[in-house]
């Protein structure tokens, strides 16, 4: 689902989460089940609204902080069940929705792993990078109101590459 941004699978996951946790298999049940799980993980769900599972509904709202902290939680040694969140991310310049992004000379090629998100006027990139010191860092960049999706993608890719190139302490 993450690697190729499969919206059909993404739409079904909250329903399965709902059924597995005692909520009704519905949009409302999926929303409640996923929100409850995020809360149990101690993630900042205030202001978040999950209208659907795919993120295609314009009523969906999540913060960059929620996305970045979810990724950090997935990298935590005490959360092995969340590891597929990281391993399913496309690799810049090599797999999935990032296969044709990040040219051969791009700093982020091979080290940026990220989920893309694209709607008319909205572009996102959230994932992980290994920085110049070998540390795993998480990031989430979101744009809203963009009139040039290709330019927005290039900027998001440059931002992730800058994080990968970071040697900051």
CB atoms within 10 A of CB 18: 22
Confidence at 165, pLDDT banded by 50, 70, 90? confident
Q: Which two tokens stand for residue 136?
A: 């795993």
Name the residue among 121, 133, 142 with its Cα closest to residue 165: 133
Give the pLDDT confidence of 126-159 residue by residue, as tens digits.
999 988 888 899 999 999 999 999 999 999 999 9
pLDDT digits (tens, 9 = 90+) for 72-113: 999 999 999 999 999 999 999 999 999 999 988 888 999 999
Q: Report the C-alpha gap between 12 and 51 in whole angstroms.
A: 13
């Amino acid at each position: 689902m993450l690697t190729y941004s499969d919206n059909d699978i993404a739409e079904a996951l909250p329903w399965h989460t709902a059924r597995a946790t005692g909520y009704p298999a519905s949009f409302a049940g999926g929303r409640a089940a996923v929100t409850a799980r995020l809360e149990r993980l101690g993630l900042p769900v205030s202001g978040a609204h999950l209208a659907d599972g795919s993120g295609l509904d314009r009523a969906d709202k999540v913060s960059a902080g929620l996305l970045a902290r979810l990724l950090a939680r997935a990298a935590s040694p005490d959360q092995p069940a969340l590891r597929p969140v990281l391993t399913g991310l496309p690799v810049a310049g090599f797999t999935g929705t990032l296969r044709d992004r990040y040219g051969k000379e791009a700093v982020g090629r091979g080290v940026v792993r990220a989920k893309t998100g694209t709607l008319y006027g909205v572009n996102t990139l959230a994932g992980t990078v290994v920085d110049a010191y070998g540390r795993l860092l998480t990031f989430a960049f979101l744009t809203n109101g963009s009139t040039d999706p290709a330019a927005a993608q290039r900027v998001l890719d440059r931002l992730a590459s800058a994080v990968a190139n970071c040697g900051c302490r």
